[in-house]
Amino acid sequence: MLDDNDAIPVFGPEVPAYGLDDRMGFQEAFYTLTRRLGDEMGYGVHFENDTFEMHPYCWCESDDCPQCGTHTQVNFWHKPTDLKVVWYKYPMRAAELNQPLTLEAFTAVVDACVASLDPAVPSTAVPSTAVPSTT
């Protein structure tokens, strides 16, 4: 895991990465959101609205992939706070955040994301097994 002085490429060279003190607590809070989006497997979905953006972990290793190749896409972005999270395989596993965050604050972020959803959202989310279109 990275320490506070390390940076991962997706956050930029001058942005430190922060880990989680209570991964299971963060994971359970986040699963409230993924389940609301229709993700029963727990890997996340491809989804974006005015409040947040989510993408499951990708291991395609393609040079032009925004996660694997160009490192320009994070797994989760809460737009109002600019909170960005990357993880390994499933949400919050070996997670790194672009800012320090308590579980209480993260739960508030998740609650805001859930509140931003339209009741029809599960039918519009792309399952994590689907490959997003690049067009």
In a domain, 130, yes or no: no
In a domain, 13, yes or no: no
Number of domains in the chain: 1
For residue 55, the model assigns a pLDDT of 93
In a domain, 14, yes or no: no
In a domain, 28, yes or no: yes
Number of C-alpha atoms within 13 angstroms, CB side, residue 108?
8
Residues spanned by the domain of 86? 23-118
Report whether pLDDT(88) > 50. Answer: yes
Report whether pLDDT(89) > 70. Answer: yes
For residue 23, the model assigns a pLDDT of 85
In a domain, 73, yes or no: yes
Task: Band the pLDDT of 8: cuts 50, 70, 90.
Answer: very low
In a domain, 77, yes or no: yes
- Residue 87, judged by CB atoms within 10 A of its CB (0-12, 13-18, 19+), counts as buried
Render 63-87 in DSSP notation, one character per residue: TT-TTTTS----SEEETTTTEEEE-
Number of C-alpha atoms within 13 angstroms, CB side, residue 100?
4
In a domain, 68, yes or no: yes
Phi, psi of 17, rounded to the nearest 5 degrees: -105, 140
Classify 46 as helix, strand or coil: strand
In a domain, 80, yes or no: yes
Enter the pTM of the model: 0.79
